[in-house]
Amino acid sequence: MLFSSFLHPELYWIQTEIKNEEELLNQMVRGISREFSLSMTDKEIVDRILQRELEKPTLVGDCFWVPHFRIPDLEDLIIAISFLKKPISMGEHNVQMVFLVLTGPTRSTLYLNALSVIASLVQDSDFCQLMKKTPDFERFCHFLDSKNLRVGKVLTVADIMSTDIHVLRENQNLEEVLDIFSKHQLSYAPVVDTQERFVAEINLIDIMKVGMPAYTAALPNMNFLSSFEPFEELLKHEKDILVKQIMRKPHVILKPDASLVEAIFEFTNHRRRHLPVAKDGKILGVVSYMDMLNKVLRR
């Protein structure tokens, strides 16, 4: 089904004077409640959304905000849109456009599809140009249809994977890897060769194993050893240890069109925390078990 089919002219606003996100949400939720029967009050919905924003902001790019919330007993997928002629400040972001998405617990697939479509839309350079012209509802829907944006397809790993990834090179040393992992709070990274082909992977466990003497693999535990000496040696030689000495070939590679069920199967059967997503030898992204939590189970 075309994404535009879920939009309503009554829930499409071009705002001129909005002071902050709370005022904006109040106006949008009030407009929704005039068109739909909701099991929560306007204030309850706004308060819950704002609370979620404190815990996990839903800002996308520099100027988009995509608040979303599941309402008990709601059978519809509701998408409300506001263009802001005067941006509102949210932290370091100046929000110019808002997609508010509401649905119920039984509409998860449509809900996640809609969020995926919105995420792809805000990265479209043509859409960013259109937004500058503040299009009316009819023109906005015409643009969406020209892009053939659809909701209702089966969710795939491409819909939830992280594409902002940090790749490593075979000849980088351990010092560089640890610095990258620390700076970006990573525990996994794909490795590419000089032709940008995905050839291997490395995670924090692989690195820690390098610091442990070989004989420890045969021991039931290490409670007899309190010295940090093995890792002191590792850190002493971190400039000499190369990625190609630690990396390993990936046993599992997902295709971007793999289903979420397939990803879950690989996570559970292989006890993985991260899975690479690649096509034609090129790394496209990484899907993690936290992506499953934050983008599917608790989005």
- Where helices occur in 134-200 by DSSP H, the ranges are 137-146, 157-160, 174-184
What topology is assigned to 3-153 in CATH?
Mannitol-specific EII; Chain A (3.40.930)
pLDDT, tens digit, 9 for 90 and up, residues 89-103: 888 888 989 999 998
CATH number for the segment(s) 168-297: 3.10.580.10
Residue ranges per structural domain of the chain: 3-153, 168-297
Please give the Cα distance from 265 to 249 (Å, whole number).
20
For residue 57, what pLDDT is reported? 85
3-state secondary structure of 275: strand
Whether 138 has a pLDDT exceeding 50, the answer reads: yes
Contact in structure between 81 and 14 (CB atoms under 8 Å):
no
Contact in structure between 62 and 38 (CB atoms under 8 Å):
no
Q: Which pair of structure tokens corresponds to residue 104?
A: 């119920």
Whether 184 has a pLDDT exceeding 60, the answer reads: yes
Between 55 and 112, name the one with better pLDDT.
55
| Whether the domain at 3-153 and the domain at 168-297 fall into the same CATH topology | no
For residue 215, what pLDDT is reported? 46
Lowest average pLDDT, out of 17-26, 30-39, 183-192, 210-219, goes to: 210-219
Whole-number mean pLDDT of the chain?
86
The sign of the torsion formed by the CA atoms of 219, 225, 227, 228 equals: positive
Residue 123: C-alpha distances to residues 42, 98, 100, 119, 295 (Å): 31, 14, 17, 7, 18
